[in-house]
Structure 1
Amino acid sequence: MAELGLNEHHQNAVISYMRFARSKRALRLKTVDSCFQDLKDSRLTEDTFTVDEVTEILDGLKVVVHSEVESELINTTYTNVLLLRQLFYQAEKWYLKLQTEISDLENRELLEQVAEFEKAEFLSSGKRANTEISKPKLAPLNEGVSELLSKEITRLQEENDKLKARLKTVEVQATNALDEKFNLERVLKDLEKAQGNQETKFKSQETADLEAKLATLKADFEKSLNVSNENQKSLEDNLIATKHDLLRVQEDLLLAEKELEKKFQETAAYRNMKELLTKKNEQVKELRKRLSQYEAED
């Protein structure tokens, strides 16, 4: 129909997905910008910094930005997988097998074509600003084991989303813990410089409290990471088991189809039709034989 070579319905679906991707991309860019702004507001409060302090600040910023970018890339991958799952789900309902060409995902000409399509759709004078794109719902497959598997996959996806949110919270806590650690280390350095040779006499309680607090934060952070890793491993095991169950169900459906075809061949209607065709073939042979005799006499 247009630039992408799709009909109107499919092109509207592509536009809807691109709008969703643009909003997610803009939100993530705002998050990255806020990381730099938070760094400016919280750390860049002095006129001069040493090389070690600048290195420390950049390392902390690197951890935060790396986490944000990695989270977005992972989320984009999962989102694309869910989109493919919707398409394959509809195809399997009608016993279709879709094929994908991975090499086309790096085709520069096609990528530029998509970029031009996006620019024409979202950066133009707003020719589709008031257009509402229909969002058809996938029809559920309410048949036996397939319905149970669908519910189980939905439950696992919800659990996966909860784990992602929890992991995000842990990452934020870890970032806060690192910032607090840097602040505590700076306080310790200031105390050591101020106390000098009298460190043994005046350090005592305050420094001990700071060290204890730092140790507690480190232990909590390691504990949170361990819990997150265990939950992630459990989720992966559940997804693998569900995939195996789905493959077994597909095999059962194929066997059932073959069995149904076999039973149809054994029905009386099928046998009667086969006998009728056999009689018709014999009659045709007899007529041809008679016709050949008449032709020989002529």
Structure 2
Amino acid sequence: MKRFGFNEHHQNEAINYMRFARSKRIIRLKTIDSCFEDLKDSRLVEETFTVDEVRDMLDGLQLVVRGEVETELINTAHTNVLLLRQLFSQAEKFYLRLQTDISELENRELLEQVAEFENTEFKNPNKTNQEISKPKLAPLNEGGVSELLNKEISRLQEENNKLKGRLRTLETQAMGALDEKTRAERALKDLQKVKGEQQMATRSQEITSLEDTVAALQEDYQKSLSVNAASQRDLQDNLVSAKHDLLRVQEQLSLAEKELDRKFQQTSAYRNMKEILTKKNEQIKDIRKRLSKYESDE
């Protein structure tokens, strides 16, 4: 069993469990054998049996054997759970978490090694009796657990004291930083106050300068208004004078046009043109009369 990495103590524990399982298996096999013997003694009393009778006997035997095997399998599973409970309880006392690999339970190579180990260990009856006569190991006492807990408590207390000391140091540093912050805020307020007074003086000077500038601009504006009013009056007078001159020129132009028409009518060219137009008009009238007469004859 050393090939599994067990120490001597765990090897003995494994042997004890295998011995227990072996004894339970032998008892259950004897029970199954007794089922067959009971069938032989109670039912096989005649020389010949019908098919139905044989089938009935086999069905009854199957039911009994099935019940025995199922009971043994259930009992084995529950026994394994109790064994795991013992292991887990001992592990939890030392704050351990055990893990199992279910797939290894069907490892054929390991199963063959266990079978070989069982055959080797239980092949010699004398060795088996010697193993049975060995005294049982004393159960784990609570001293180891208490000692482990005390060590853990001491370590936690020491760590807690260190944390408290560090906390006090941080509090001292925080108070110092708070005092420095207060002094800095006070100095900043004083600086802002002085700076504010300087800014107020500068702003007062700027306001005075702006007021002077506004007054000068208002004075210039008033002067500009006076000049503009005088200029406007001059422009209005000039406009009235220009209108009068325009009317006078228009009247002179009208008289000149009339004079030109009169002089043009008195020229010989005008008279000749007028006579020609008169003759043409008479000719047109004569032609129209002829046309109207011709149209009426048709």
Q: TM-score, normalised by structure 1?
A: 0.48
Q: Report the structure, 1 or 2, having the larger helix content.
A: 2
Structure with the greater relative contact order (CA < 8 A, sep ≥ 6): 1 or 2?
1
Q: TM-score, normalised by structure 2?
A: 0.48
